[in-house]
Amino acid sequence: MQSDPQAEPYWRDVGTLEAYWKANLDLASVTPELDMYDQNWPIRTHMESLPPAKFVQDRSGSHGMTLNSLVSGGCIISGSVVVQSVLFPRVRINSFCNIDSAVLLPEVWVGRSCRLRRCVIDRACIIPEGMVIGENAEEDARRFYRSEEGIVLVTREMLRKLQVKQER
């Protein structure tokens, strides 16, 4: 039951990369259209038994920090900054990273000193140390899939092909 009977029902077509990205980031906004915290309109779902998200220092003493983001259970953020993003379960972000307007699906591992912006990272991707995604349109389009609106999709297969090219 919706808490406000006058409110428009919430529905999103997430059939495109942009729509999927926008719908996820809307949930992390200050006042999302779908209020997942409305106790009068509970969302019923299966919750995997995971430890709570953890924010830890890196070796230099910088703390993991998030702003306007959703961080799922099992995530660890070590000495990095995450802004306006959605982290699905068991995401690991290593030290010195900047994550902005990103959707990281379950079990993504982000190496040290990465910068991820305006992207969707597919399940179980391993982002190599120092990788920059979402800052150079030409490079993003060459390595990954980049939409007309500038959202970058990264999959394991794309990362594998990139690694093979670099080894040649």
| DSSP assignment of 114-145 | -EEEEEEE-TT-EEPTT-EESS-HHHHHHHSE
Q: What domains can be seen in the chain, in order of their start residue?
A: 54-167 (2.160.10.10)
pLDDT tens digits, residue range 38-62?
777 777 777 789 999 999 987 777 7
Residue-wise pLDDT tens digits, 134-166: 999 999 999 999 999 999 999 999 999 998 877
- CA distances in angstroms from 123 to 56, 88, 91, 103, 154, listed in the order given: 23, 9, 9, 10, 9
Q: How many CA atoms lie within 13 A of 70 on its CB side?
A: 21
pTM: 0.89
Side chain identity at residue 13, one-letter code: D
Q: How many CA atoms lie within 13 A of 19 on its CB side?
A: 6
36-54 b/e (C-beta count within 10 Å ≥ 16 → b): eeeeeeeeeeeeeeeeebe
- For 11-24, write each residue's pLDDT tens digit: 778 899 999 999 99
